[in-house]
Chain A
Amino acid sequence: MTLLDFARGPGLQWSLTIMIVGLCWRVVGVFLGRWRKDLSRPRSDALVQGGLRAIITRSAPAPELEKNIRWQHLTGYVWHIGFFMTVLLYQPHIAFFKSILGFGWPGLPSHLVVIPAAITLAVVVMLTIRRMIHPVMRAITTSDDYISLIVIILALVTGLMAYAHMGLRYETMLALHFISVELLFIWTPFSKLAHMIFWLLSRYRIGTYFERKGVKA
């Protein structure tokens, strides 16, 4: 079995299985855990709207904080949007999703997707370096952060190198790209990367919690 056969076969099957098991475990576990009963009088009964509103309002920092963190705010969005464009609008990726989900969607011309991919990689690397140099960032960064950043960077680097036919032979680069993405899958449920699911749940929860207290979150 070649490296590519492993990457496209059992590697993919098992990493996706682990990711799905892990995420379902965490989500179900969170929902079924004990919730502290709130014995106060609710100030509003529009809890669902409050939850949904928070999903949108929490997309940007509070106005009072914005001037201090405008840089992180912008770069964070740049690289997340670039990442989604790369993952979701590159035709071979769409073919990958189609093989799992059964449906695809229109994509961008392939040679244009390189632009968001390259920008994403540059921004992530820059932010990582900043995280390692800046004293406050360094103090609050954990191994979870570093490993999460490494798997993201590996996926971007191997993807770009495979696309450009750089580095090792193409089938090896493609296998390495598959494997780096599989590492990402496996790491996701057990790390901060799980925020890809939890961001919706957390914001909704905060929204309903504050709405009940009569606070616009």
Chain B
Amino acid sequence: MRKDQSLGEYLRAQGVSRRGFLKFCSATASIMALPPTAVAQVVEALASARRPSVIWLSFQECTGCTESLTRSHAPTLESLIFDAISLDYHHTLQAAAGYGAEAARLAAMEENAGKYLLVVDGSIPAGNNGYSTIAGISNLEMLKETAANAFAIIAVGTCAAFGGLPHADPNPTGAVSVSDIITDKPIINVSGCPPIPVVITGVLAHFLTFGTIPKLDELGRPAAFFGQNIHDRCYRRPFYERGQFAETFDDEGARKGWCLYKLGCKGPTTYNACATLKWNEGTSFPIQSGHGCIGCSEPNFWDKGGFYNPLSAGMWGSRDALLGAAAAGAALGVGSAIAARRRQKKAQGTEI
């Protein structure tokens, strides 16, 4: 797609009819969780949308977020939106490597100063700059350098948004999130491990359509996708209300599709779109497949006391410590009894 083409012109040049474009827009509006009444606005905006430059930096990550987004190699809605952006730098997807790739990144940054979108996946090791480097440049350096002239930053995945897996106790690399480093640019946290692909493209589509950051919740996540918790949209909720829980995997309750609260489901405290948008283009999501939600779009989800520990149970330091407490209490009791007896003897003057 030529850089000066609008998205509408690009699709027309690809042989997409106006009817096809309308279909594309209504599906895109659906992805953005916009009501059908907003489709007309989406049509108008996307027809004349310019192609934004996007630089994608990958730090301490597993590439799962990129995989989530680019699974299919035939044109899907997601890839069309992806095509609509000018992806000027991406480790996994770009053909260039080495100095050539870095030169392309710097050229894109200069050409589009103040206007390019920076997408980051993976956490940044603040413990030691040598833990993760690209072309000899530390992640910290590269992030600061590239963020300086970006319009906005999209932190894709829980690692970039909140630190993710590398940040889990004891955090050996000192991993931090993008928002811990950059404080002077708008940051959209698209969390999830990985995020649902349509959520990533939904944010890009919002940017293409409106040219602005979508409304964010207090953790910086797009409210359209992270506004509801899983529990409130879960189809197994009636079982929760009735107190019908699966006690173990593959017991009778599990086979009947009962609530997975007792098996550690973190649905009630997790905000994401899994229960409505689902995964693999609406096929299923963890709870539907019989495993409780692990809360992967929340900060520190690895350190919430275990995936199979129910929310109503404590995150135990040590149960044995309670026995120790009983012993300590008894000892205190003995001590105070002795002191009391001495006082009484003294007061009464006789041994009774």
A residues near B, CB below 8 A? 2, 4-5, 8-10, 12-13, 16-18, 20-29, 31-34, 36-37, 90-93, 95-96, 98-100, 107-113, 165, 170-171, 174
Contacts and interface: CB of A to CB of B under 8 A. Distances in A.
Nearest to A189: B329
B352 A111 contact: no
Interface in B299-331: 299-300, 303-305, 309-319, 321-322, 325-330
Interface of B: 229, 231-232, 240-245, 261-262, 268-269, 299-300, 303-305, 309-319, 321-322, 325-330, 332-334, 336-338, 340-341, 344-345, 352
Contacts of B245: 91
A20 B322 contact: yes
A29 B337 CA distance: 5
Contacts of B316: 13, 99
Q: Classify the secondary structure of A's interface with B.
A: helix
A27 B268 contact: no
A96 to B, nearest CB: 5
A96 B305 CA distance: 13
A5 B304 CA distance: 7
Contacts of A32: 333-334, 337-338, 341
A26 B303 CA distance: 36
A20 B314 CA distance: 16
Contact of B312 (A93, A109, A112): A93
Contacts of B232: 165
Nearest to B231: A170
A113 B240 CA distance: 12
A114 B280 CA distance: 38
A96 B312 contact: yes
A17 B245 CA distance: 30
Given A24-B332, A28-B330, A28-B337, 5 more contacts: A9-B317, A29-B336, A34-B345, A91-B243, A91-B262
Nearest to B267: A170
A97 to B, nearest CB: 9
A99 B330 CA distance: 24
12 contacts: A13-B317, A17-B321, A21-B328, A22-B329, A28-B332, A28-B333, A29-B332, A29-B337, A95-B310, A99-B313, A109-B242, A174-B269
A149 B310 CA distance: 29
A12 B314 CA distance: 7
Nearest to B333: A28
A33 B311 contact: no
Nearest to A91: B243
A156 to B, nearest CB: 16
A4 B261 contact: no
A26 B261 CA distance: 37
A17 B345 CA distance: 33
Contact of B333 (A27, A93, A170): A27
